[in-house]
Amino acid sequence: MNWQFVKPTPKYSSKYEISFKNEANLFPSISKLTKDSFKIYESNDKLFWEFLLVDEDNEFKEVGAYLNIVKEEKQAFFTINIKINSLLNEEKWSILIFEYIHCFFQEVLKFEQKLINLKLDSKFFNLIKNDFNFQEVTKQNEKYLVLLDTKISYSFSDVHTHPFLEYYSEPKQEIEENIKNNLKTLFLIGTSWKDNEEIVSYLDKQKNLFALIGIHPNNVQKEDNYEQLEELLLKNSNVVGIGEVGLDLYYEESPSLDLQIQSLIKQIEIAKKYEKTVMLHIRENANEKDFFLFKQIKKIITNYLDVNFIFHNFSGNLEIYNEFNKFSNVFFSFSGVITYKNNKEARKILEIMDLDKLLLETDAPYLSPEPTRSLWPNHSYCIKPSYNLISRIRQISLLTLTSQINKNIERIFKVKLYE
pLDDT at 51: 93
> pLDDT value at position 9?
82
Regarding whether 102 and 190 lie in a shared domain, the answer is: no
- Split into its structural domains, the chain has a count of 2
Mean of per-residue pLDDT scores for the chain: 92
* Rounded Cα–Cα distance for residues 410 and 205 (Å): 20
Instruction: Check whether residue 79 and residue 200 sit in a common domain.
Output: no
Give the residue among 169, 121, 171, 164 at the shortest CA–CA distance from 141: 121
pLDDT in tens, 155-198: 999 999 999 999 999 999 999 999 999 899 999 999 999 999 99
Between 332 and 19, where is the model more confident? Answer: 332
Domain-ending residue, one of 117, 149, 181: 149
- How far does the chain reach from its first CA to its final CA, in angstroms? 33
Confidence of residue 30 (pLDDT cuts 50, 70, 90): very low
Q: Please give the Cα distance from 327 to 308 (Å, whole number).
A: 10
**Residue 96: half-sphere exposure toward Cβ, Cα within 13 Å:** 26
pLDDT at 33 over 50: no
- Buried-state track 179-201, b at ≥16 Cβ within 10 A, e below 16: beebbbbbbbbbbbbebbebbbe
Domain that holds residue 404: 156-413
CATH of the domain at 222: 3.20.20.140
Antiparallel, parallel or unpaired: β 134-140 and 239-248: unpaired
Domain final residue, candidates 132, 149, 166: 149
Q: Which residues contact 24 (CB under 8 A, 6 or more apart)?
A: none
- Distance, in Å, from the CA atom of 391 to the CA atom of 388, rounded to the nearest integer, reads 5
Question: Domain boundary residue among 92, 127, 149?
Answer: 149
> What are the backbone angles phi and psi of residue 23, rounded to the nearest 5°?
-135, 55
Query: Cα 128 from chain centroid?
Result: 23
419 falls within a domain? no
Decide: 410 and 404 in contact? Cβ < 8 Å.
no
Please check whether residues 197 and 142 belong to one and the same domain.
Answer: no
